[in-house]
Amino acid sequence: MSIRNLLTVLSLTLACHAREITFPPLSGYQQNQDPIHDTGDIDITTGSAFSGLTTFANLPHVHCLAAEVTEMETYDIAILGAPFDTGVTARPGARFGPGGIRRGSRRISPESAWDIYTGENSFLDWAKIVDCGDAPLTFLDNTIALKQLDKAHKVISARKANSSEFSIPRIVTLGGDHTTTLSALRSAYKRWGQVSVIHFDSHIDTWDPKVLGGGISHYAGVNHGTFLHIAHEEGLIRNTSIHAGIRAPVIRRKGDVRNDIRCGFETIKARDIDRIGTYGVIDTLKKRVAGSKVYISVDIDVLDPAFAPATGTSEVGGWTTRELLTILDGLSGMEVIGADVVEVAPIYDNPGETTVLAAAEVVHSLLTLLVQRPVKM
Ligand SMILES: *[C@@H]1O[C@H](CO)[C@@H](O)[C@H](O)[C@H]1NC(C)=O
Ligand SMILES: *[C@@H]1O[C@H](CO)[C@@H](O)[C@H](O)[C@H]1NC(C)=O
Ligand SMILES: [Mn+2]
């Protein structure tokens, strides 16, 4: 501190003590008000981004699983949390994913979410988007929990839509570990028939239950690395599906890859982006699923651990958040009938909330795809 500053501080301090200081008049509406007791003009009837209960992007909450739904409670797109993480092979914690992603979305306000790249605001378009909260899933029995989730998807997608034109509400699920996608695919199959899956992940997740987990029991075989194998066996998905961002090792040198192709998948590896770029990835995805209805599943571990440390099965050498968002936005125009973001385990996040912020923005991009292309039955 310079001598001059020191003198200024000293003289102010002395002035205060002498109670000689005079405050300038208060500006604007504060003038003539008792600053402590008069709250007359203050409006607290509308919330701010950080007040109230935390829904995704401050969207209205609807009790979508209620026995009776009134006209007022219809919706076109539903956010549904799936707090389930007992199907994992590495670190648990994704049962807190729905809460984490919602927390990461607090600064998204529907009324001021105009996209700088597209000029659109998907929250103020034709679709009514709501947050249904979480499906009630037992944490003590995976078989029952998945049946609960199957039912939640079935009930929520069977509600009358708000739009009279597009009759089937679509769901964006907040995982939960990746096993939860199986319920979403079962529900999608019932409503839309077989769909192509665009699967963003560092792992293939088509492992034969006999390979991943060693086939010790049927119960053990239904997990976050086998659900796409099961989806294929159940006839839910088309053979025009595709992985993007794969880099984790396989268990059997040739068998796993052969089985993956048999399950209907083509693969874009993580490092392919160095050669073909984000637009090359977009082109490959579009060509693969052309002409079919699409389900998009985003395992947050598709991102490098630098961009998404808070996940159960981290693999280094992944994509950046910007690359993933560019690719997702590039899928504009596809007939997306459902989507999810899974494997967010907030306990491993950092004070900057790197992972949940990324996950929330990924959900935002997925919502935008659903709004951009309404789908008729
Ligand atoms: C929901 O439906 C009502 C009645 O058709 C309509 O007025 C309203 O705009 C819709 N809401 C949204 C968000 O589109
Ligand atoms: C998918 O299966 C159909 C018939 O089942 C076959 O004609 C088609 O070539 C297959 N497509 C791919 C991309 O494997
Ligand atoms: Mn996965």
- Return the higher-pLDDT residue of 102 and 44: 102
Find out whether 80 and 172 touch, Cβ atoms under 8 Å: yes
- For residue 345, name the pLDDT band (cuts at 50, 70, 90): very high
In a domain, 43, yes or no: no
pLDDT of residue 3: 58
With a cut of 50, say whether residue 266 has pLDDT above it.
yes
Q: For atom 8 of ligand 2, which residue has the closest CA?
A: 239
pLDDT digits (tens, 9 = 90+) for 9-53: 555 454 445 455 666 555 555 555 666 777 778 888 877 778 889
What is the residue type of 98?
P
pLDDT of residue 340: 98
Find the 335 Cα to ligand 1 centroid distance in Å.
22
Among all bound ligands, the one having the nearest atom to the CA of 262 is 2
Q: For atom 3 of ligand 1, which residue has the closest CA?
A: 162
Q: What's the mean pLDDT in 329-348?
A: 98
Q: How far apart are CA 31 and CA 29, in angstroms?
A: 5
With a cut of 50, say whether residue 184 has pLDDT above it.
yes
Q: For atom 4 of ligand 1, which residue has the closest CA?
A: 162
Percent over 90 (pLDDT), the chain: 81
Q: What's the mean pLDDT in 110-120?
A: 94
Distances (CA, A) of 157 to 33, 120, 191: 53, 26, 8
Any known ligand binding at 208?
A: no
Percent over 70 (pLDDT), the chain: 90
Q: How many structural domains compose the chain?
A: 1
pLDDT of residue 333: 95
Q: What's the mean pLDDT in 65-87?
A: 90
In a domain, 244, yes or no: yes
With a cut of 90, say whether residue 131 has pLDDT above it.
yes
Find the 239 Cα to ligand 2 centroid distance in Å.
6
Answer yes or no: is the C-beta of 240 below 6 A from any ligand 2 atom: yes
In this structure, is the dihedral angle defined by the CA atoms of residues 144, 83, 243 and 219, taken in order, positive or negative?
Answer: negative
pLDDT of residue 16: 45
Please state, rounded to an integer, the average pLDDT across all residues of the chain.
Answer: 92
Find the 212 Cα to ligand 3 centroid distance in Å.
13
Any known ligand binding at 256?
A: no
What is the residue type of 57?
A
Q: For atom 12 of ligand 2, which residue has the closest CA?
A: 239
- The DSSP secondary structure of 333-364, one letter per residue, reads TS-EEEEEEE---GGG--TT-HHHHHHHHHHH
pLDDT digits (tens, 9 = 90+) for 308-324: 999 999 999 999 999 99
Domain hosting 182: range is 58-372
CB-count burial class (<10 Å; 0-12, 13-18, 19+) for 7? exposed
In a domain, 355, yes or no: yes
Find the 264 Cα to ligand 2 centroid distance in Å.
9
- For residue 123, name the pLDDT band (cuts at 50, 70, 90): very high
Q: How far apart are CA 295 and CA 153, in angstroms?
A: 14
pTM: 0.90
Atom of ligand 2 nearest to the CA of 240: 13
Pocket residue to mutate for ligand 1, from 128, 129, 367, most atoms within 8 A of Cβ:
128
Any known ligand binding at 301?
A: yes
Structural tokens at position 259? 């089985």
Q: Would you tell me how many other CB atoms lie within 10 Å of the CB of residue 154? A: 14
Q: How far apart are CA 84 and CA 179, in angstroms?
A: 8
CATH of the domain at 305: 3.40.800.10
In a domain, 14, yes or no: no
pLDDT of residue 124: 97
pLDDT digits (tens, 9 = 90+) for 284-298: 999 999 999 999 999
pLDDT of residue 22: 63
Q: For atom 12 of ligand 1, which residue has the closest CA?
A: 128
Any known ligand binding at 41?
A: no
- The DSSP secondary structure of 357-376, one letter per residue, reads HHHHHHHHHHHHHHHHS---
Name residues contacting ligand 1 (CB within 6 A). 126, 128, 162
Q: What's the mean pLDDT in 67-93?
A: 91
